[in-house]
Amino acid sequence: MTAGPFARPRRSRDAWRWLATLVAISLLVALPLAPSVAAAQAWSVSAAPTTVGLGRSTDVLVTVTNTSGNNGGGEGIGCVKLDIPAEYQVTAATIDSVDGGHSWSAQVAGSNPTIVSAHGGSNGDRIVGSPDLESVVIRVTATGLQMGTAPWGADEYNNADCSGDFNRHLALVMQVDVVPNRAPTASPDSFSIRHDRTLTVVADGVLANDGDADGDLLTTNLQSDVTNGTLSLAGDGSFSYVPDAGYVGGDSFTYRASDGLVTSSTVTVSLTVTNAAPVGVVDSYGTLHGIPIIQSAASGVLSNDSDADGDGLTAALVSGPSYGTLTNWGADGHFTYLPDLLYVGSDSFTYQVTDGLLTAGPVTVTLDTFNAAPSADDDAYAVVHDDNLSPSAATGVLANDADPDGDSIATILVTDVSHGTLSLDADGSFSYLPAAGYVGPDEFTYRATDGVAASSIATVSVTVSDAAPTGAADSYVVVHDHDLGVPVSSGVLANDADADGDSVTATLVSDVTNGLLVLNADGSFDYTPSAGWAGTDSFSYRATTATATSAVTTVSIDVTNAIPVGVPDGYSVHVGDTITVGRPGGVLSNDADADGDGLAAVLATDVVHGTLTLAADGGFTYVASPSFVGDDTFVYVPSDPLGGGAPVTVTVTVTGTAPTSLGDTATVVHDRSLSVDASSGLLTNDVDVDGDGLTAILDDGPVHGVATVQPDGSWTYAPAAGFTGTDTFTYHVHDGALSGSTAAVTILVTNIAPIAMDDVASGAHDRPVVTAAPGVLANDVDGDGDTLVTRLASGPAHGSVTVWADGGWRYTADAEWVGVDTFDYEIDDGAATGTGTVTVTITNAAPFGMADTYVVMSGSTLSVAAPGVLANDVDADSDRLSVAAVSGPQHGSATLGPTGWLTYVPASGFSGADTLTYRIWDGLDRSEAVTVLISVVPPAPTPTPTPTPAPTPTPAPTPTPAPTPTPAPTPTRTEAPTATPITELTGGPTAAPSGASVDASATPSSSVAPSLTPAPSVSPSASASLPPTPSTPS
């Protein structure tokens, strides 16, 4: 055999990964029978054509098949040795199947592997064939040492170790083309970045639009650096670029793409450093006249201006205002504008805005000065005829007028009065004198002005009247059963008046009801109350002149009875004794009646702690209780024949010695109860000088809890839920007769605040992170051992979280977000709180693509349904994957769907290996490029068997000669087609391609597909011409 020139292998790092993880196709295996078997044996060795780069390796699948149709029945041994040319180096060989009880093994002997069947018989020294074994597949790894094509062969032996002379030579339908390396191609790139920012381009970066016809992994070689910044270019095409400070314009660098052997031509990467000019927006401000406009930077002229680059902006004044003064101007846009005095209208100034590189403007700022006119309301006044009306400014015509701006206002007279004389001042005060003797209406009109604008006309109405007399109410007093006589000087008209000075008389309107009344016209009157009656009586009248009458006036007469006046009394008695008080020293002895009426004592309230007998003359007897010490009281009413006076209290002091109460203190943890027994209770520090037995009595309970006090001094206290601090309650002691003073019990309710410890967690993107109880509480502590509850304090920035009271929580990141997020939670022990932070890391694992291999017959169509190429690809997060094509086949056309389905049509007449590459996307990351290897096999020629002569009966059977194989046809030289780009679709195919198709397991799916049975073997003397070396696509 001769070998042609060799070239560098074409293989990407994805193809190497595929070769390392390739799973062998499992087929049936068979071994040739021993020569002693009376049956003709025919064997073939075949392998799919493939291509390997110079000095690189590829896996070759070799199939050894029993083609005789008679493979059973006897004992035998078999061995096949591959005849591999020296142009290839075989470094490994593995067997891919064990079947029918036979153990097959592949051995490396020099450069030619052997296939050995070793199966022990009953005595361990024989090899036995089996009818169900037909073929065996081995995988060898071959390295191309020279360029060109050299066919492989095989030798068959009838022994177990391929020793001695082979039985026959088997032609191997196999060719391995060793092809040269082609230089990569690089395309120019362009990027843009805003000034003073960093441009970061991830892999594949500048290599993304570069290619290598051999599918080699490419790296970058920097040729020339940038001139206006700093560049860092990585071998995988990623780079970062930082332009010089303040620089705007173009920059560039050059590089070559290298496949490890050769490089592409030099290409240029253009970098554009941009700056967007600022945008100034017109402004408008308003103010009332005389009031300045003061704007800070936050609301100044730059507050609505913008810069697409986010640059800091400054303002520069271009022209000032015309009707005011602009002061306090600042580059940050703040200013103060004071309009000219009394100016009302529009004013403006202009400015420019700059980002330090570019300037916009001038921009106009409009300043509007407003004034609101005052409002005037109508007024009404009244005056008696011939009198002067003089309201002050406080009650003048401007008192009910207003100016929305708060300006001072003044009056402008519009029309004068008609029936008198008017003097109107600017402050709204005025003087009006009606014409002599005139009675009736008069008016004048005016406007209110703020010095800039005036109100609408307001009317002031003045009513000139004749004054009616006025009556004033009167009241008189008389003692019961006595007459009341009132002279003119103090009569009912004494306090009445007439503004005009007219003569006034009294006219009765309603009479008294509890006596007799005589009312005279001059206002004097006589009144006699009914006998024995006391109370208030009344009558009414009018004051009358010749022309007018006053309103009805009421006169009250109080018929009095002097109420007896009682004075409190006090007496003392020892506990258990009796006190008797006679009339001279009784309770009435210090009481009095202004009318001199006789008095009597009427009991109102009896004593509580003794027995009382009270006489009408004021004498009494009191018997003290033997168990009471203190003040006892009773109440009586001193009374005359017409009624009683105010109740009077008489105090009887029962004397004795009271016990002494002393305060106590205690401490308890919050939300826990305190119980103190009698041995250390409240009475242990209290005393009674008489040695009386003491009991404890609760007075005022605690404010922040509940307390119980037992008579023996034992007590309990339960603080309110969650309360901490100081609480108190009071009690006193009692010795059976007397009580001690009140004493306080002070209780300190304590709490140790809980401590929240930070937590960390992680999870995959688009999946909730859930931590069950105790969750965040697992590492939190409370010094009091309180039960803790949790709640959310502040939520995360990149998702949502639910925190349960028991510490469990559930975090859901934003869709497709990956990174580190935090949220804060709060723990509560019922009295105090603590805060902790939970840090959640959300990750994404990039998908990993596994290489695929398919076989299709030349002239047929390969159709692989979804999931297709994705079937063996993996994603650690179980994300939904989609496919994106990278490069298409060189010897046919392919359509690759996003769900992994594939359709491939080989070029007409082409057979051999073809490849295409794709990447996998999980929505966040993509895989490295994955290679799909498609073996296009030519139709095997159908062998023409030699007819078998009719058997002649003989005592022993004669083996039928093996058919003479037809020599393989001479292949026709076929030029390799130009590589066809792959078609990437967004959905599955709408119809199956025409013609035969092969599914992913290389099983024909059409009855018209030719048989995949390998070509029959030929005798050693047979020869076949080698196909010409395919031309390399340019």
pLDDT tens figures, 542-590: 999 876 788 999 999 999 888 899 899 999 988 778 999 987 778 888 9
Tell me the C-alpha distance between 405 and 1030, whole Å: 99
Q: Please write the tens of the pLDDT for every residue from 447-492.
A: 999 888 888 999 999 998 877 888 899 999 998 888 999 999 999 9
Mean pLDDT of the chain: 79
900: left (phi over 0), alpha (psi -120 to 50) or beta: left
Predicted local confidence at residue 15, as pLDDT: 31
User: Of 85-94, 189-198, 356-365, 721-730, which range is least confident?
Assistant: 85-94
Predicted local confidence at residue 314, as pLDDT: 94
Q: Are 147 and 54 in contact (CB under 8 A)?
A: yes
How many CB atoms lie under 10 A from the CB of residue 718? 16
- Output 619 or 964, whichever has higher pLDDT: 619
| Position 957 confidence tier, pLDDT thresholds 50, 70, 90 | very low
- For the entire predicted model, the pTM comes to 0.32
| Position 131 confidence tier, pLDDT thresholds 50, 70, 90 | very low
Tell me the C-alpha distance between 323 and 332, whole Å: 24
SS3 state at 207:
helix
Predicted local confidence at residue 862, as pLDDT: 96
Q: What is the mean pLDDT of residues 229-234?
A: 96
Structure tokens at 344: 């009302």
Whether residue 1003 is predicted with pLDDT greater than 60 in this model: the reply is no
Q: What is the mean pLDDT of residues 763-791?
A: 91
How many CB atoms lie under 10 A from the CB of residue 357? 16
Highest mean pLDDT among 73-82, 149-158, 229-238: 229-238
Whether residue 110 is predicted with pLDDT greater than 60 in this model: the reply is no
| Position 259 confidence tier, pLDDT thresholds 50, 70, 90 | confident
Q: What is the mean pLDDT of residues 311-332?
A: 92
Complete domains list, the chain, with CATH: 13-179 (2.60.40.290), 189-274 (2.60.40.10), 283-370 (2.60.40.10), 379-465 (2.60.40.10), 474-560 (2.60.40.10), 569-655 (2.60.40.10), 664-750 (2.60.40.10), 759-843 (2.60.40.10), 847-946+977-1034 (2.60.40.10)
Site of tokens 């009294």: 506
Whether residue 984 is predicted with pLDDT greater than 50 in this model: the reply is no
Bridging pattern class, strands 283-288 and 799-803: unpaired
Predicted local confidence at residue 44, as pLDDT: 66
Tell me the C-alpha distance between 869 and 897, whole Å: 10
Structure tokens at 72: 């059973």
Predicted local confidence at residue 855, as pLDDT: 94
Predicted local confidence at residue 866, as pLDDT: 93
| Position 991 confidence tier, pLDDT thresholds 50, 70, 90 | very low
User: Of 35-44, 435-444, 664-673, which range is least confident?
Assistant: 35-44
Site of tokens 């404010």: 703
Q: What is the mean pLDDT of residues 147-157?
A: 69
Q: Please write the tens of the pLDDT for every residue from 268-281.
A: 999 999 988 899 89
Q: Where are the beta strands (DSSP E) in 673-742?
A: 674-676, 695-698, 705-709, 715-719, 725-734
Q: Are 187 and 269 in contact (CB under 8 A)?
A: no
Residues 739-755 as b/e (b if ≥16 CB within 10 A, e otherwise) read bbeebebebebebbbbe
Q: Please write the tens of the pLDDT for every residue from 704-720.
A: 999 999 999 999 999 99
Backbone torsions φ then ψ of 116, nearest 5 degrees: -120, 135
Q: What is the mean pLDDT of residues 869-884?
A: 90
Closest CA to 616 of 637, 631, 590, 647: 637
| Angle made by CA atoms 698, 699, 700, in degrees to the nearest 5 | 110
CB neighbour class for 959 (10 Å; exposed up to 12, middle 13-18, buried from 19): exposed
Check whether the bond before 949 is cis (ω within 30° of 0): no
| Position 931 confidence tier, pLDDT thresholds 50, 70, 90 | very high
- Please state, in angstroms and as integers, the Cα–Cα distance from residue 747 to each residue in 141, 714, 729, 784, 829, following that order: 90, 15, 9, 18, 20
Percent of the chain whose pLDDT exceeds 90: 49
SS3 state at 753:
coil
How many CB atoms lie under 10 A from the CB of residue 329? 18
Predicted local confidence at residue 845, as pLDDT: 83
| Position 138 confidence tier, pLDDT thresholds 50, 70, 90 | low
Whether residue 995 is predicted with pLDDT greater than 60 in this model: the reply is no
Start-to-end C-alpha separation, the chain = 28
Whether residue 721 is predicted with pLDDT greater than 80 in this model: the reply is yes
| Position 49 confidence tier, pLDDT thresholds 50, 70, 90 | confident
Tell me the C-alpha distance between 201 and 203, whole Å: 7
Closest CA to 769 of 805, 845, 820, 806: 820
User: Of 465-479, 558-572, 651-665, 976-990, which range is least confident?
Assistant: 976-990
Tell me the C-alpha distance between 640 and 480, whole Å: 13
Bridging pattern class, strands 267-274 and 189-194: parallel
| Position 79 confidence tier, pLDDT thresholds 50, 70, 90 | low
Cα atoms found within 13 Å of the Cα of residue 26, Cβ hemisphere only? 4
Structure tokens at 517: 């009344």
Predicted local confidence at residue 270, as pLDDT: 96
Site of tokens 């196999």: 174
Predicted local confidence at residue 27, as pLDDT: 23
Whether residue 746 is predicted with pLDDT greater than 90 in this model: the reply is yes
Predicted local confidence at residue 90, as pLDDT: 64
Predicted local confidence at residue 198, as pLDDT: 94
Predicted local confidence at residue 978, as pLDDT: 34
Backbone torsions φ then ψ of 770, nearest 5 degrees: -120, 130
- Output 28 or 706, whichever has higher pLDDT: 706
Q: Are 280 and 361 in contact (CB under 8 A)?
A: yes
Q: Are 834 and 827 in contact (CB under 8 A)?
A: yes
SS3 state at 206:
helix
Closest CA to 137 of 868, 1014, 1024, 1009: 1014
